[in-house]
Structure 1
Amino acid sequence: MWRDAAQCRRVSMLFISTSSFSSSSSKPSSVRNYYLRKRRKCPLQPFKQQWLQSFSHQLAMRSFKESIKNGETRILFSLVQSFSTYQIEPSPKAYRFLFKFLTQKHRLFGHQIPQILDHIEKVASFETPECVIIDLIEFYGENNMLTEAVELFFRIPKFRCEPSVEALNALLSVICREKRGLEIVPQILLKTQAMNIRIEESSYRILIRALCKIGSVSQALELSKYMVDDGFIADKKICSLMLATMCEQMDNDICEVLGFLEDLKMLGFELRMVDFSNLIRVLVRRGKGIDALGVLKQMKTNRIRPDIMCYNLILYGLIVERDFLRVDKVFDELLLKGLIPDIHTYNLFINCLCMQNKIEDGIKMLGSMGELGCAPKLSTYITVLKALCEAGDLDRVREMMKGMRKKGVNLDSESYEIMIHGLIRNADMTEACCLLNEMLDDNYVLPPASLDRIICRLIKMGLFFNATELLNAVGFKGC
């Protein structure tokens, strides 16, 4: 008994082959020879032919690579010769490798590319893959050869290749890198109609990005309208890019920006957080902090949660307008929403307190920043030190500077200058000179105008020795 059918089949086949061998051996020799000759005349099976061609191709490519490695300069001749040795024609894959080699060594062999293209057009018989053409178009673009890239694109049908939108996009990406290339885009698009290439959404995106790059936002908007008319959906990233470009242009009035935003909404564009942030930024830049606060409210109405950057922009705009009551409300709101203030938030709010002469409140907040997970930086201390200097409270200034040194916070050139001018303003020239010497020891130098002001002040106060000593110190530092 056999356990499975597979084993039975193997045994039966074994018996069949044995019986056939025994039966054939029993036949006359003439019959057996005829049978063998007939079997020998059978052609190779298709998979064997493919394997043989593939093996020949590998050998030819190996021979070609060795020839160029040995310094062969006639690249096309070497390719054809290597393949003809094995009685086959160079394949598209071989030509793609050839073009990659030429583009990598374009300073030595780049001049041979036109010759090889002519050979493919007039001698070769295969259908050239479009990827080969795209690689060459990108190579021409990287080397600022726009004319060659355009000519190669329109030459695609001569290579027995059906051009598609991928080749068009490769050409548009190349020519849109420069303004002079944008000027020939209309001509190219008109000629592509005769090549049966339909502009797709990806093509529109390339053109709109190029127009935004040179600041032609109005033309980008018109092109977006054509894109929608062709049945495509307005891309969110593209609309955001157009809005951001519009906001960055300083010559645009805020009314123009808002009108542009309405045009984008007509295309089905819905604002995201980055778009609201750009609007808030441009309003703050125009000194319209209250209008920026209105955009923040609209952002919350659209159920978009503002981040700390948005609140920092609002705080800055309101502080510039000296609307301190709204500053307090906005700061309380961001805390209630669970946002964590960063160093910019604290700097802004402490500056707001100092502008209201609430220096003590600012000092208290500065002291509690570390407990709240945001250690104060030099910029935070400078805000409070400047306020204390303006208030004439030099004792608190000295106390704060000692605390800064204990915490490892060192003064920079700007902070030294603020401190020295504050001391001079309060007629404490001795302390100002000591701090100036310390500044020179730290390899910082005051601007020439500030040095002149200090030296003149010392001379007016009759402190000629101090003025001379300061001049010598400054000269010793090579200033």
Structure 2
Amino acid sequence: MARMRPLPSVIQFNQMLTCIVKMKNHYSSVISLFRDMCVQGIPVDEATLNIMINCCCVVGRVDLAFSTLSGFFKRGFVPNVVTFGTLLKGLFREQKVPQAQEFFKKIIKEKLCKPNETMLGIVIDGLCKAGNTQTAIEFLRAMEKRGSPCKPDAIMYNAVMDSLCKDKMVDEGLALLLEMIEKDIPPNVVTYSSLIQGLCNLSRWKDVDKLFSEMKVYKIVPDVITFSIVVDALCKEGHIEDAEEVVRIMIQQGRNPDLVTYSSLMDGYCLQRRIDDARRVFNTMIASGLTPDLHCYGILINAYYKTKKLEAAMKLFREIPHKGLTPDIVIYSTVLQGLFSSGRYLSAREIFKEVQASGMKPDFHTYCVVLDGLCKTGHVDEALELFHAMETDGTNLHIEMYNIILDGLCKGKRLDSARDVFNNLSLKGLDPNVITYNTMIAGLLSEGLLIEGKELILKMEEKGCLANSVTYNVILQGLLKGGHYDDAMVYHEEMVH
């Protein structure tokens, strides 16, 4: 297109950019193409600049978006309400709430554009998502006053209600629902879904039933999301049969359960260790034409390991690639934890090599699982080797990882090595926490080093790290084991005090 003479119209270039935007995840390509257009002198118009501003905001570069805004004035264009609305959304997306509020005030004060419902909805939604629900409510009230250019609509009320429910202020959300109805602002399925979610989180099942009845009166049909919310809440409460009944009602009403609904049912059965029922749900999901995602596989694999069904877990794990999915680090961590907890050291080691060979970067949880698994299966040297490799390659090591290594060394009767690791913590810029101290105190007392153990207890207190019940239990066990009954009584009285 750039080489054609005459050049295609700007409309055709905009159509091309719009197509790329709709593909999702290719916003950077649009930004690059826009720059090429400017360099090559290809004309752009207001629509082109709006596309560019939107892409900058989506990729988290609201600074570039504001630079593009200056392009309007340089070219003699006038930015419109879409332009300013997109910039506001970009600021809120990057959690720049004060800047967004100031920018909105500037738009109003300098009359840069006439705000519409969409722009005002962006402001309310942004405030709510940033946790400024009260400010959003005040904004809503200001819009209701006589002379306001726009009036609140269901979308704005929904944003506020959803935020209130997430803050466990469900009664305030219900009051807003009544207000909507009184003002002839029709609630929709999103309105009721937010309120039902809030009520489910508080186990207010009678109020949930009341809202479902109210939806019938207003001829609002619950969608899959509404039903999924209820199913998930019932499963978490252990009311799995009730959840199954909700799924049957869904199907009767022509609402096919989605992956979220089925995964909630599976999780509910797994929590009750009813693995055969969870597998039945998994199979039903496939029979209904849905393809299980990694989350579904992870739920079932984890349940198989917890019930010691290792072969079933590994068979399901090896099935994943054949279903067109690639196991992620969460799935690998689940498998590693299951194998280590079952004493299958060699199998776990092979899986970890598989992770490393794939080029996948283990996360914090994966490293903790492997280090802990190696230590608990008696392979402390291998854990130390991995730990030192992590230190060398710049992995961000947390105190939790050091605690795992210290525990392995102390239980392996390698107190000198544990002391070295503990004493080097300050050089790494890390502060021991209560678990670190408990581990070292237990290690010292198990070797009969009472004086050194007492010194560490004092050091712990001096550093402002408060002892917990585990600390006292460790001390008492160590003292009693060493025959220091008088000292044990002193610490017991201190604990009670």
* TM bracket (short chain): 0.5 to 0.7
Alpha-carbon spacing, 1:345–1:289, altered in 2? closer, same or farther (3 Å): farther
Q: Look up the match of 1:349.
A: 370
Q: Deviations over 1:16-40 (max 9, x none)?
A: xxxxxxxxxxxxxxxxxxxxxxxxx
TM-score (norm: length of structure 2): 0.54
Q: Look up the match of 1:244.
A: 264
Alpha-carbon spacing, 1:433–1:457, altered in 2? closer, same or farther (3 Å): farther
Q: Deviations over 1:221-252 (max 9, x none)?
A: 2134235xx4x6x46xx432342343045225
Question: Are the counterparts in 1 of residues 196 and 226 from structure 2 also a CA contact under 8 Å?
Answer: no
Q: Deviations over 1:60-119 (max 9, x none)?
A: xxxxxxxxxxxxxxxxxxxxxxxxxxxxxxxxxxxxxxxxxxxx79xx9xxxxxxxxxxx
Q: Which amino acid aligns with 1:222?
A: R
TM-score (norm: length of structure 1): 0.56
Alpha-carbon spacing, 1:208–1:371, altered in 2? closer, same or farther (3 Å): same
Distance in 1 (CA, whole Å) between partners of 2:390 and 2:251 is 51
Give the alignment of 1:397-416 within 5 angstroms: 397-416=418-437
Alpha-carbon spacing, 1:311–1:182, altered in 2? closer, same or farther (3 Å): same
Q: Report the secondary structure of 1:214's partner residue.
A: helix
Q: Look up the match of 1:206.
A: 226
Q: Look up the match of 2:243.
A: 217
CA-CA distance at 1:130 after TM superposition: 13
Is 1:260 matched with 2:281?
yes
Q: Which amino acid aligns with 2:473?
A: A
Question: Are the counterparts in 2 of residues 347 and 383 from structure 1 also a CA contact under 8 Å?
Answer: yes
CA-CA distance at 1:205 after TM superposition: 3.4
Alpha-carbon spacing, 1:204–1:413, altered in 2? closer, same or farther (3 Å): closer
Give the alignment of 1:45-84 within 5 angstroms: none
Q: Report the secondary structure of 1:409's partner residue.
A: coil
| Correspondent of 1:392 among 386, 406, 413 | 413
CA-CA distance at 1:135 after TM superposition: 6.6
Q: Which amino acid aligns with 2:321?
A: K
Give the alignment of 1:320-359 within 5 angstroms: 320-359=341-380
Distance in 2 (CA, whole Å) between partners of 1:147 and 1:367 is 58
Question: Are the counterparts in 2 of residues 386 and 418 from structure 1 also a CA contact under 8 Å?
Answer: yes
| Number of corresponding residues | 328
Distance in 1 (CA, whole Å) between partners of 2:442 and 2:252 is 61
CA-CA distance at 1:322 after TM superposition: 0.7
Q: Look up the match of 1:437.
A: 458
Is 1:417 matched with 2:443?
no
Question: Are the counterparts in 1 of residues 231 and 264 from structure 2 also a CA contact under 8 Å?
Answer: no
Question: Are the counterparts in 2 of residues 359 and 387 from structure 1 also a CA contact under 8 Å?
Answer: yes
CA-CA distance at 1:398 after TM superposition: 2.1
Q: Look up the match of 1:360.
A: 381
CA-CA distance at 1:330 after TM superposition: 0.8
Question: Are the counterparts in 2 of residues 308 and 341 from structure 1 also a CA contact under 8 Å?
Answer: yes
Alpha-carbon spacing, 1:168–1:366, altered in 2? closer, same or farther (3 Å): closer
Distance in 2 (CA, whole Å) between partners of 1:133 and 1:430 is 67
CA-CA distance at 1:422 after TM superposition: 1.4
Q: Deviations over 1:373-420 (max 9, x none)?
A: 423322222222222222322222222223333223332211211111
Alpha-carbon spacing, 1:266–1:431, altered in 2? closer, same or farther (3 Å): same
Alpha-carbon spacing, 1:406–1:134, altered in 2? closer, same or farther (3 Å): closer
Distance in 1 (CA, whole Å) between partners of 2:305 and 2:246 is 25
Give the alignment of 1:128-207 within 5 angstroms: 143=171, 167=188, 170=191, 174=195, 177=199, 178-184=204-210, 199=221, 203-207=223-227
Distance in 2 (CA, whole Å) between partners of 1:172 and 1:381 is 45
Distance in 2 (CA, whole Å) between partners of 1:415 and 1:248 is 35
CA-CA distance at 1:372 after TM superposition: 3.1
Q: Deviations over 1:148-188 (max 9, x none)?
A: 979997x99xx9x9x9xx65765676567452244356756
Alpha-carbon spacing, 1:208–1:219, altered in 2? closer, same or farther (3 Å): farther
Alpha-carbon spacing, 1:221–1:358, altered in 2? closer, same or farther (3 Å): same
The CA RMSD measured in Å over matched residues stands at: 4.4
> What are structure 1's unaligned runs of at least 5 residues?
1-103, 109-128
Distance in 1 (CA, whole Å) between partners of 2:353 and 2:155 is 61
Distance in 1 (CA, whole Å) between partners of 2:155 and 2:441 is 68
Alpha-carbon spacing, 1:289–1:409, altered in 2? closer, same or farther (3 Å): farther
Q: Look up the match of 1:83.
A: none
Question: Are the counterparts in 2 of residues 385 and 397 from structure 1 also a CA contact under 8 Å?
Answer: yes
Distance in 2 (CA, whole Å) between partners of 1:254 and 1:429 is 48
Rg comparison, structure with higher value: 1
Alpha-carbon spacing, 1:454–1:441, altered in 2? closer, same or farther (3 Å): farther
Distance in 2 (CA, whole Å) between partners of 1:206 and 1:434 is 59
Distance in 2 (CA, whole Å) between partners of 1:405 and 1:174 is 49
Q: Which amino acid aligns with 1:239?
A: L
Question: Are the counterparts in 1 of residues 157 and 176 from structure 2 also a CA contact under 8 Å?
Answer: no
Question: Are the counterparts in 1 of residues 174 and 195 from structure 2 also a CA contact under 8 Å?
Answer: yes
Q: Look up the match of 2:91.
A: none
Q: Which amino acid aligns with 1:317?
A: G
